[in-house]
């Protein structure tokens, strides 16, 4: 079996998280990803949140699988020459520097196009054109400016960021789609193009349902929100605790031993079609003939009471027992799984979503593999490169002979 992106060469100028998640996906689909790093320290995440002294951090290793690493000082004259060769050699350049960094190195889009008109030039920035276009941005800044934080959190509590890296990894995903789309268009147009994703835009795209609710607010209260019917709605979409974002009410309820296990909870959705089974299971078959309870509209103003009754039942069972019983009744539900449980989940290991990788300096560690499964393109997760591990190999692929490589080293370019 071949790999979908075999033969595609990516000039990977990414660092930290957002860009590296994008190029890691492309590498998993078979692209040759050449990660360019500054001589000395390389990607800052190599040294961040280290759990072992002098060993690449898990932060770095888990974002840079299947790539090759070349060190290159793109600000030195000799480095710029090599960088130009890389631009000519590759199908896509991907970067997520602070705004203007590549231009300051002397590589504007116009210059890059002159070197290689077929190249796709893909960037992640914090913001698109506008008042904040020059700002540096990290994950939580994007969550706050993209509408996620203002709509996440407990009712009447302060805004909250989520554990899911929707600003970084979410935007990396968006960019990867942009790159393969541009490469596809190139097969017809013959030329490359610019692909840009702003983290604010990526987060807002993932918060689409909240912009939906912002507009619904004009026409009356959001009846599925916990603020209805007793609380007040202001001018903007409020935080809704754990209420479902869709048309079916849902909530997190406690399960047996929740006092000792911080993850003994389950999310239960009271979907209309499965409601009779749910009511029966929790011992409330009386609701089925009671007009106060037997329609979704009748239940809407008393969802808190309904979920307390569901919880009275779930408190007598483990989250997995609840899952077993309710799944058989077609009631959508999901246990709150801890990272410990996910790391040990057999089915995730079998599908390659959780993978054990061996690293020459740190030994074995777990990572999240490719969550996108193609039937005709295999994924083989291999370890992240050491800093500059492939410098000589890549330089000779660019046509430099041994003497030129020696000189590049002597000039501190690599
Ligand atoms: N050779 C020479 N110089 C290099 C180099 C190389 N191989 N690689 C990077 N540099 C230089 C850059 O050119 C830049 O120099 P200038 O400031 O003179 O232009 C400098 O290193 C620092 O780059 P940076 O400004 O991007 O890095 P930072 O640590 O200050 O900022 C970040 C990091 C993430 C805030 C910023 O890159 C950013 O806003 N990126 C866009 C948004 C983004 O992706 N954020 C997600 C990060 S993960 O949460």
What number is the average pLDDT over the span 145-173? 97
Q: Quick one: pLDDT band at residue 232, thresholds 50, 70, 90?
A: confident
> Is pLDDT of 77 > 90?
yes
How does pLDDT run across 102-125, given as a tens digit for each residue? Answer: 999 999 999 999 999 999 999 999
The mean pLDDT of 348-377, rounded to a whole number, is: 97
- What is the reported pLDDT for 170? 98
The alpha carbon of 384 and the centre of ligand 1 are apart by a number of angstroms equal to 20
Residue 137: CB within 6 Å of ligand 1?
yes
351, 328 Cβ separation under 8 angstroms: no
pTM of the model: 0.96
Residue 322 reports pLDDT greater than 90: yes
80 Cβ closer than 6 Å to some ligand 1 atom: no
* Ligand 1 nearest atom to the CA of residue 79, by list position: 1
Superfamily designation of domain 9-206+345-410: Crotonobetainyl-coa:carnitine coa-transferase; domain 1 (3.40.50.10540)
CA gap 313, 172 in Å, rounded: 42
Cα 414 to Cα 83: distance, rounded to the nearest angstrom: 11
State the pLDDT at residue 246.
83
Catalytic annotation on 168?
yes
The overall average pLDDT reported for the chain is 97
Listed by start position, the domains of the chain span: 9-206+345-410, 249-331
Cα–Cα distance list, 120 to 3, 113, 251, 321 (Å) = 20, 9, 44, 51
Asked if 128 and 199 count as a contact pair (C-beta separation under 8 A), the reply is no
pLDDT digits (tens, 9 = 90+) for 338-358: 999 999 999 999 999 999 999
| CATH T-level topology, domain 249-331 | formyl-coa transferase, domain 3 (3.30.1540)
pLDDT > 90? residue 231:
no
Distance 44 CA to ligand 1 centre (A): 10
Per the listing, tokens 């969802």 go with 303
Span from the CA of 97 to the centroid of ligand 1 (angstroms): 4
Give 296: exposed, middle or buried? Use CB within 10 Å, 0-12, 13-18, 19+: middle
> Which of 12, 43, 56, 168 does the annotation list as catalytic?
168
In the predicted model, is pLDDT for residue 9 greater than 90?
yes
What whole-number percentage of the chain has pLDDT above 90?
96
Q: Ligand 1 pocket, 171 CB below 6 A?
A: no
Quickly count helices (H) and strands (E) in the chain: 17, 11
CA of 341 relative to ligand 1 center, distance in Å: 36
Task: Give the pLDDT of residue 143.
Answer: 98
**What integer pLDDT is reported at residue 229 of this predicted model?**
87
Top mutation candidate among 34, 97, 140, 143 for ligand 1, by most atoms within 8 Å of CB: 97
Q: Distance (Å, rounded) from C-alpha 86 to C-alpha 89?
A: 5
| Mean of pLDDT values over 49-59 | 97
CB 222 less than 6 A from any atom of ligand 1: no
Which two three-digit tokens encode residue 224? Answer: 């599925």
């Amino acid at each position: 079996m071949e790999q979908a992106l075999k033969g595609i060469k990516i000039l990977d100028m990414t660092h930290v998280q957002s860009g590296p998640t994008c190029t890691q996906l492309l590498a998993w689909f078979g692209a040759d990803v050449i990660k360019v790093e500054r001589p000395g320290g390389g990607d800052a995440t190599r040294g961040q949140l280290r759990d072992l002294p002098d060993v690449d951090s898990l932060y770095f290793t888990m974002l840079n699988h299947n790539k090759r690493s070349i060190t290159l000082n793109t600000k030195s004259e000799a480095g710029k020459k090599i960088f130009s060769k890389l631009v000519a050699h590759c199908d896509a350049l991907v970067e997520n520097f602070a705004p203007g960094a590549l231009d300051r190195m002397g590589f504007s889009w116009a210059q890059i196009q002159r070197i290689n008109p077929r190249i796709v030039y893909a960037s992640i920035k914090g913001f698109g054109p506008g008042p904040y276009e020059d700002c540096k941005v990290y994950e939580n800044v994007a969550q706050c400016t993209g509408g996620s934080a203002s709509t996440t959190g407990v009712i009447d509590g302060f805004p909250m960021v989520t554990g899911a890296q929707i600003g970084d990894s979410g935007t990396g995903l968006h960019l990867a789609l942009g790159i393969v789309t541009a490469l596809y268009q190139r097969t017809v147009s013959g030329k490359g193009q610019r692909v840009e994703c702003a983290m604010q835009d990526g987060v807002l795209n993932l918060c689409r349902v909240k912009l939906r609710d912002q507009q619904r607010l004009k026409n009356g209260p959001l009846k599925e929100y916990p603020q209805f019917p007793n609380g007040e709605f202001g001018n903007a979409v409020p935080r809704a605790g754990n209420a479902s974002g869709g048309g079916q009410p849902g909530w997190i309820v406690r399960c047996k031993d929740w006092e000792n296990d911080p993850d003994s909870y389950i999310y239960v959705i009271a979907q209309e079609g499965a409601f009779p089974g749910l009511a029966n299971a929790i011992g409330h078959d009386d609701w089925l003939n009671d007009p106060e309870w037997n329609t979704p509209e009748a239940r809407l103003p008393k969802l808190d009471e309904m979920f307390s009754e569901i919880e009275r039942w779930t408190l007598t069972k483990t989250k997995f027992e609840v899952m077993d019983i309710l799944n058989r009744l077609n009631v959508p539900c999901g246990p709150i799984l801890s990272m410990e449980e996910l790391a040990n989940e057999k089915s995730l290991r079998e599908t390659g979503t959780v993978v054990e990788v061996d690293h020459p300096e740190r030994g074995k560690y777990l990572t999240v593999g490719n969550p996108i499964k193609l039937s005709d393109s295999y994924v083989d997760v291999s370890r992240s490169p050491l800093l500059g591990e492939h410098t000589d190999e890549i330089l000779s692929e660019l046509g430099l002979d041994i003497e030129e490589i020696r000189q590049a080293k002597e000039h501190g370019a690599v």
